[in-house]
Amino acid sequence: MLKLLLSVICFLCLTSGVLITTSTAATTVTLDANNLSIWPQPQIIKNYENKPSLEFTRICFNVSSFISSDWNNLAECERNFLSNALNRLSTRYQFIGPSNSSSCVKFSLKKETSSCKISLLNSSEKYEMWLNGNYSTIKAENVFGTLRAIQTLAQIIDQAYSIVKNAKSQVIISSIYIQDYPFYNYRGLMLDTARHFIAVDSLKRHIDSMEEVKMNAFHLHITDDESFPINMTKYSPSTYKFNGGPLTFEILRDLNEYCADRGIQFIPEIDTPSHSQSWSTYYPSIMYPSCTNHLDMGKQETYQVVANVYQFLFKLLGSWTQTIPRIKFTNQFLHAGFDEIDGNCYSNDATLKKYQTFVLNNILQNGSLIASGDSTDKILPIVWADDLITDYQLGNTSALPRDTILQIWRNDATLTETLKYYYKTIVSISEPWYIDAPCSRTFEKIYQYKPPAHPSVIGGSTCMWTSSGDTDNDLEEYVWPRAAAVAERLWTNPCNPITFWNASFPYNTQKLSRKTILTNRIVKTGTAAQTYACSSTTNPTFSSNCTSGVTFTVPAQPSLDSVTPQQSTVNPSTSTPTATSSVSPKSSTKTPVGKSQSMNTGSSTTRLSQANSVKISLILFVVILAIASWYTTH
């Protein structure tokens, strides 16, 4: 009887051990080049062989994860810039690294140039990144490229962390190589704070969302007919009458620094000579009598008032509160407006040409000296050029200096005419890149528009014009995530983007579309983001002339001279072999993003746990039988 009872107990131990182990065994999800959700999509992302995979738990997103000798080789301004970025992104995504920093995989940081002053238009944001379990490498041409690599790494960690946190799964990252760079240098967002004043906190949330999608130009339309929201009295009370607005010198300087810390150029716009009715509250004498929203370009007083306003802006762009070394831009920008000029509001074309020449030359000749005292630094003017080119034929004239950057919004015909003059040009075609109409200009329609391939096109900007009835929350939902469609168009410029926004990847407990994952990440910046119910339910039609790609071989990872590669702690039997999912270095085409790798269910890990459980239970069973036999014989 005792034998039978002990046998039953042993059988229950055996079966329960298997069942418990089976139900609690953690699944393993393998992330690789085929199922990583990164926005904007990198130009090249490949799996590569002969390197161990990387356990997610070994990634430390902080300064200590970089090899100290590489980090110390950076200029102090670069260390400040990158350490702030690491802290900021770590807080945004709530990353919790390993408690023992010695287990962190080390990052080698290779940078070709070192400088505290970088040009938006002439510098490269290119980077390369090798991720593997021995050590990882980030290679960039300058600190902006390094920042973009860190932003990409943050999105990879976010995807892994979402799975670990919500699906309770282990995450292994295969050996991955990324080569990335923007197709266009200028990738902008314009917000109108004149018709509806946008709170500074909301402006900063937009800027954080821009950083998330690698946009780099924040254009703030400050003045218009409705308001002149700048308070200039503290700057020079005896000269300026503009004293009614909430935007002080200190607030605007803070916005400029907030942008610069994120690799974004701050571009303030004072719109003249039209859209200027708000000036009449302070200087009624400089308004054109028959056109209340135009400055009188025939009066000398007008020129003096305008010059004073620009002097305020020059000083603003050259002022910094922090005394620690920081990254600054060699070239800065001021937007001078010149939109929708009514030809009936001045005596003749010579009047407009005289005023325009005065404003643009004042920016070009005096701006840099007042801002920084360095004549090698330039402040470049940007203008809305549709009227100037098509209505007034000012292209290639002294009224439109060659260093002026033209922004075109009206239509493709105007853009085509403008490009004949070979000025640097920003594309902002209103249909569909004006995003104040969420239902008529859907995410898909915005993504479909492609700027022309022309050497004068330096990039583009999406524009959010406001109205008095908007709230800050409304505006954030109007802008995001639709502005991110422009961001990826300008960074990646994919040939056929249907697969880009529709592809589904593992995130949290399920597979989500890239657009949904993007929206989740934007919300983590604190920005209100929404995919409107009126968004298109059908995909637009694209031409089928996409090329299959060119032959690409993953380059060798730069070697470490002074650091011994760390051994991977990944159990070879629990990680998915890269050969089953990787792209061979000899592959001649880039893996289509839409063909996502399915989530690894961790069946091999579960089977291994079951096998171990069976062995332990059998040993226990034999031991108990031996005890039972001893009792029955004694």
In terms of Cα–Cα distance, which of 113, 134, 126 is closest to 52? Answer: 134
Q: CA–CA separation, 220 vs 190, rounded Å?
A: 6
Provide the sign of the torsion angle of the four alpha carbons 272, 274, 275, 276, taken in this order. positive
Contact yes or no for 339/407 (Cβ under 8 A): no
Residues contacting residue 598 through CB under 8 Å, at least 6 positions apart: 35
Q: Is 55 one of the catalytic residues?
A: no
3-state secondary structure of 405: strand
Helix boundaries (H) for 290-329: 300-317
For residue 492 the two structure tokens come to 């990646």
3-state secondary structure of 593: coil
Q: CA–CA separation, 517 vs 512, rounded Å?
A: 6
| 551, 579, 135, 491: CA torsion to nearest 10 | 40
Q: CA–CA separation, 264 vs 218, rounded Å?
A: 7
Peptide bond into 40 cis (omega under 30): yes
Contact yes or no for 434/467 (Cβ under 8 A): no
Residue 256 identity (one-letter amino acid): N
Q: CA–CA separation, 526 vs 330, rounded Å?
A: 31
In terms of Cα–Cα distance, which of 462, 476, 408 is closest to 432? Answer: 462
Contact yes or no for 251/200 (Cβ under 8 A): yes
Q: CA–CA separation, 83 vs 538, rounded Å?
A: 43
Run of H or E residues at 83: helix 76-93
Run of H or E residues at 623: helix 603-633
Contact yes or no for 620/15 (Cβ under 8 A): no
Helix boundaries (H) for 405-497: 412-419, 430-433, 443-448, 472-479, 482-491
Residues contacting residue 222 through CB under 8 Å, at least 6 positions apart: 193, 194, 229, 230, 247, 268, 269, 270
Instruction: Please state the three-class secondary structure of 541-571 as a single string.
Output: CCCCCCCCCCCCCCCCCCCCCCCCCCCCCCC
Contact yes or no for 298/250 (Cβ under 8 A): no
Choice among 49, 226, 250, 340 that is catalytic: 340
Residues contacting residue 416 through CB under 8 Å, at least 6 positions apart: 452
Residue 422 CB neighbour total at 10 angstroms: 13
Rama region for 135: left / alpha / beta (φ>0; ψ in -120 to 50; rest): beta
202, with CB counted inside 10 A (0-12, 13-18, 19+), is buried
* Catalytic residue set: 340
